[in-house]
Amino acid sequence: PLPVIVIGAGHAGVECAFALRQAGVPQDILLIGDEPHLPYERPPLSKAMLSDALDIERVQLKPMAAFDKARITLRRGERVTRLDTVARTVDLAGGESLRYSECILATGGRARLLPGMDAAQVHAIRTLDDALRLKPELVPGQRLVVIGAGYLGLEIASTAAKLGLHVTVLENGRLMAGKASPYTEARFAALHRDAGVELFTGVSVVGCEGQPGQWRVTVNGGAAHPPATLDGAQFDADLLLVSIGALPNTELAEAAGIACHDGIEVDALCQTSAPGVYAIGDCANAHSQHGQRRCRIESVQNALFQARTVAAQLAGKPVAALRPPTFWSEQCGKRLQMAGLVLLDAPIDDHVTHTDRGWVVERFQHGVLRAVEAVDSPIDFVQKTRLIAAPLSAETPACAPLLTEPQHA
Ligand code: FAD
């Protein structure tokens, strides 16, 4: 029989390959990834990797022996350049063409940059190589400007401040992409400022001139906090880190004629619009029955869940019940855990409780618990997450139709 081919050897791709084998899929499993390293996990790249003496082996997902034992053929440092969903082949950059029975796209995403930016000049964090390039530059006394106060930007800002750099964060919207409650957002803003980070929200970067060691960043707009008009203000920096989100790697799918919109569109079983082709992880745009909308969920838990969903299907096994998406972040010595998704355009009623070491925010909509945040309160997090409302019906007019029936708990 023809092999199952998994494209992309990140969290989603690796998990899928192993889950396929564990589920008893008889075919050869071929995992093709374009990065040179053994597959690794990304969360430490913006956390412990930058401050601790964390070696590469500690971030590896599996040792090479585990791939051999599971009879998974890992082809690393190889890029798939073309997918033909009719002939069921993938072409590699080296010229080889491989046939598949099923193909799983786990191509992830890449760091977004501002228009005109040269990736070799500025820093961004997506890959192990990015982290290895940034780490030696985090030297006490250096001036670091971080563009974007999302989770990654804030994690790195916090680490850099702790290492003794002068850190400025410029954000045009809200902290953590507006995904946290206003309470948690305000508390983290205060924690960052207390740690010495200069944090400005409500400012847009309109120019970045210079080169490594000599950057000048110009902004526009009135900073929401601190209240000031920063039109035309300039910030000088030795290091520039751009952390304004990720773009899904959809090129292969798009060129193959697969439906894409902010990611590769999939149904609740991760099937794309092409027969025998699935998409999982950061590259997949799925209908979330928790948040009642289509979205890409960039989290390890989502990557693992979707990987196992596809593996179970291909092995003819039952698919696990959908659980609320979860995410975590570490900033200013605190661990933030989040679960669930709030509905768009519905008022949110936040209930804040203080715990021994942190706080918990329960997020209700129309009297129903939709999401939970917990800071340094892992037990409360687990308990409250269990109470999050069951998935909603997927049939909402605002969302693209599902290709197949959703799997309900
Ligand atoms: P990726 O990990 O991006 O893997 C995709 C792989 O496919 C890449 O190696 C890519 O090079 C490869 N590829 C792409 N195209 C091709 C091709 N044509 N041929 C061959 N290979 C290809 N999530 C959390 O839940 N908690 C956290 O604290 C957290 N922290 C994070 C910190 C950082 C710095 C980053 C970048 C992400 C973090 N995330 C976190 C998100 C989480 O890491 C991602 O959701 C997860 O890695 C997604 O896995 P993936 O396999 O879908 O994609």
What pLDDT does 230 receive?
Answer: 80
Task: Name residue 123's amino acid.
Answer: H
What is the pTM assigned to this prediction?
0.93
Integer Cα distance of 266 and 385 in angstroms: 26
Instruction: Looking at the CA of residue 301, tell me the nearest atom of ligand 1.
Output: 25
What pLDDT does 409 receive?
Answer: 25
- Report whether residue 303 contacts ligand 1, using a CB cutoff of 6 Å: yes
- Report whether residue 298 contacts ligand 1, using a CB cutoff of 6 Å: yes
Q: Separation of 109 CA from ligand 1 center, angstroms?
A: 6
- Report whether residue 246 contacts ligand 1, using a CB cutoff of 6 Å: no
Q: Percentages helix, strand, coil for the chain, rounded to the nearest 5?
A: 25, 30, 45
Q: Separation of 31 CA from ligand 1 center, angstroms?
A: 15
What pLDDT does 403 receive?
Answer: 30
Integer Cα distance of 322 and 301 in angstroms: 11
- Report whether residue 323 contacts ligand 1, using a CB cutoff of 6 Å: no
Residue whose structure tokens are 């045009």: 172
Specify the 3-state DSSP secondary structure of 381: helix
Q: Which are the contacts of 276, defined by CB distance < 8 A and separation ≥ 6?
A: 85, 88, 100, 101, 102, 103
Residue whose structure tokens are 């690794």: 40
What pLDDT does 221 receive?
Answer: 79
Per-residue pLDDT of the chain (409 residues; tens, 9 = 90+): 999 999 999 999 999 999 999 999 999 999 999 999 999 999 999 988 898 877 788 899 999 999 999 999 999 999 999 999 999 999 999 999 999 999 999 999 999 999 989 999 999 999 999 999 999 999 999 999 999 999 999 999 999 999 999 999 999 999 998 899 999 999 999 999 999 999 999 899 999 999 999 999 999 877 666 667 788 889 999 999 999 999 999 999 999 999 999 999 999 899 999 999 999 999 999 987 666 678 899 999 999 999 999 999 999 999 988 888 999 999 999 999 999 988 888 899 999 999 999 999 999 999 999 999 999 999 999 999 999 977 765 433 333 323 322 332 2
Integer Cα distance of 373 and 385 in angstroms: 9
Residue 211 parent element (H or E): strand 204-211
Nearest to 330 by CA among 86, 157, 140: 157
Integer Cα distance of 299 and 302 in angstroms: 5
Integer Cα distance of 139 and 396 in angstroms: 51
Q: Separation of 291 CA from ligand 1 center, angstroms?
A: 22
Residue nearest to atom 31 of ligand 1 (CA): 43
Q: Separation of 249 CA from ligand 1 center, angstroms?
A: 10
Q: Which are the contacts of 382, defined by CB distance < 8 A and separation ≥ 6?
A: none
- Report whether residue 40 contacts ligand 1, using a CB cutoff of 6 Å: no
For the record, the structure tokens of 281 come out as 């992880």
* Mutate which of 5, 38, 42 for ligand 1 pocket (most atoms within 8 A of beta carbon): 42
Q: Separation of 235 CA from ligand 1 center, angstroms?
A: 31
Residue 379 parent element (H or E): helix 378-385
For the record, the structure tokens of 152 come out as 């990654």
What pLDDT does 227 receive?
Answer: 67
- Report whether residue 42 contacts ligand 1, using a CB cutoff of 6 Å: yes
Q: Separation of 302 CA from ligand 1 center, angstroms?
A: 11
Integer Cα distance of 409 and 407 in angstroms: 7
What pLDDT does 232 receive?
Answer: 86
Specify the 3-state DSSP secondary structure of 312: helix
Phi, psi dihedrals of residue 281, rounded to the nearest 5°: 80, -155
- Report whether residue 43 contacts ligand 1, using a CB cutoff of 6 Å: yes
